[in-house]
Amino acid sequence: MKTSGLSAFLAVCILALSQPAMATLRIFACEPEWGALATAIGGDDVSVYTATQAMQDPHHIQARPSLIARMRRADMVIATGAQLEIGWLPVLLRQASNARVQRGQPGYLVAANYVHKMDVPVRVDRAMGDIHPAGNPHIQTDPHNIARVAAELVQRLKQIDAAHADAYQKRYNAFSGRWKTAMAHWAEAAAPLRRVRIVVYHKGWAYMNHWLGLVEVDALEPVPGVPPSTSHLAKLLAKLGQQTVSMVIYAAYQDPRASEWLAERAHIPAVKLPFTVGGTDGANDLFGLYDDTIKRLLTAAGKTGEKSAQEQ
C-alpha cells in the first residue's frame, strides 16, 4: 500500500510538471485597449483583467469592492492617465494597499506619460466643463500612441518578470512588425478622409483627427461633459446650414439620440465609432479597432471598398 501510495504521488507530481505553467503576472488594465495590448505582448505569461468595457464611460466608474480585490492581487496596473480615471483609480490604489502597483513602481504604468498630449488647457475653471488639466486623455484614437505605449510596456514586463523576458520581447517584436505594416495600410486607406469636416458628440477625438486629418467643426456638448440641450442643438443646426459638414460622430458608449437628431435634420450620416476594443462587432482586437473605425468613416464619407489591415 505504501509503495502504491508513493507511486501515485510521484505520478501526480510528474503530471503537474508536464502541464503548462500557470500565468504568473497579473495585470489590471483600466481600459480595453490596454487589456488588449497587454494580452498581445504578454501572451500566456500574463493574466489580464480589464476593469472597464467599451459600453462604459471611462470617466465615470465606481470603485467597487470587486475592483479593489483585483487591484490587491495585481502585479501591474496599466492606466491611461491624464486624469481620465481620477474619480476611481486613486481610490482603488489606496484601498488595495498593494505596494507593487503604487505610483513610482515598475508595476504602475501610465500610458499618457509616453505620448505627446493634445488639448492641454492654458487655464481651467468650472465654466469650461469636464476638461482635463493634463490634456486630452483619449490617446487610443491614434494607433501611433499604441505603438509608443507598447514600447514601454515590454520593458516594464521584462523588468517585473525577468524569467519570461525573452518571450515578452519576441511577442513585442512580432506585434510591432504587424503594427507598423497595419499603420502604413491605414494611412493609405484613410487618405480620402483628409480635410473632411465633422461634428463630434464629445471632444474625445483630437488624436484621431490629427492622425487622419479630419477637421472638427463643432461638438454637440456645449462644454465637455454637459449633455446637449435642445436649444444648443438648434443653434448648432443653424450653424451647419451655413457650411459643409460630412458627418456627426459619437462613441459606442454614448447615447446616439442627439447625434441622430442633428444628422437627420442636417442630412448627413450619424456615425457610431468603436472608440475602444469591443465598441463594435468589428473592433474585437486592436487591429480591428482601427480597421472598423476607418471603414465606418470612409463609408460615411462616400468612400468604400477598401480592405482592412487584417485582410492585407
Neighbours of 201 (CB within 10 A): 24
Question: In the predicted model, is pLDDT for residue 121 greater than 60?
Answer: yes
Question: In the predicted model, is pLDDT for residue 244 greater than 80?
Answer: yes
pTM assigned to the model: 0.88
Nearest by Cα to 288 from 310, 305, 257:
310
Average pLDDT, the chain: 89
170 with 45, same domain: the answer is yes
Tell me the C-alpha to C-alpha distance, in Å, between residue 278 and each of 4, 10, 134, 144, 273.
52, 45, 27, 19, 11
35 with 158, same domain: the answer is yes
73 with 140, same domain: the answer is yes
The confidence score (pLDDT) of residue 190 equals 97
30 with 156, same domain: the answer is yes
168 with 44, same domain: the answer is yes
Specify whether the CB–CB gap between 308 and 285 falls below 8 A: no
Evaluate whether residue 205 is within a structural domain.
yes
Evaluate whether residue 9 is within a structural domain.
no
115 with 150, same domain: the answer is yes
Q: How far apart are CA 185 and CA 308, in angstroms?
A: 8
The confidence score (pLDDT) of residue 132 equals 61
177 with 130, same domain: the answer is yes
Domain boundary among 155, 185, 215: 185
Evaluate whether residue 88 is within a structural domain.
yes
Q: Are strands 25-29 and 46-50 parallel, antiparallel or unpaired?
A: parallel
**137-172 residue pLDDT tens:** 999 999 999 999 999 999 999 999 999 999 999 999
221 with 297, same domain: the answer is yes
Evaluate whether residue 10 is within a structural domain.
no
Question: In the predicted model, is pLDDT for residue 35 greater than 90?
Answer: yes
Which CATH number belongs to the domain containing residue 283 in this structure? Answer: 3.40.50.1980
Q: How far apart are CA 149 and CA 101, in angstroms?
A: 17
180 with 196, same domain: the answer is no
Domain membership of residue 208 as a residue range: 191-311
**250-280 residue pLDDT tens:** 999 999 999 999 999 999 999 999 999 999 9
Specify whether the CB–CB gap between 139 and 84 falls below 8 A: no
Q: What is the mean pLDDT of residues 20-40?
A: 88
Contact residues for 74 (Cβ-Cβ < 8 A; gap 6+): 26, 27, 28, 49, 96, 98, 100, 101, 107
**202-236 residue pLDDT tens:** 999 999 999 999 999 999 999 888 899 999 999 99
Evaluate whether residue 147 is within a structural domain.
yes
Q: Are strands 76-79 and 25-29 parallel, antiparallel or unpaired?
A: parallel
168 with 281, same domain: the answer is no
Angle at 294 between CA 219 and CA 202, to 5 degrees: 15
The set of long-range contacts for 236-244, using a CB threshold of 8 Å and a minimum separation of 24, is 236/199, 236/262, 237/262, 237/265, 237/266, 240/199, 240/266, 241/266, 243/197, 243/217, 244/197
Q: How many domains does the chain have?
A: 2
213 with 304, same domain: the answer is yes
Evaluate whether residue 7 is within a structural domain.
no
Evaluate whether residue 75 is within a structural domain.
yes
114 with 136, same domain: the answer is yes
Domain boundary among 170, 185, 200: 185
Q: Are strands 25-29 and 215-219 parallel, antiparallel or unpaired?
A: unpaired
Domain boundary among 153, 185, 217: 185
Tell me the C-alpha to C-alpha distance, in Å, between residue 260 and each of 101, 191, 255, 266.
42, 26, 10, 10
Question: In the predicted model, is pLDDT for residue 305 greater than 70?
Answer: no
Evaluate whether residue 125 is within a structural domain.
yes
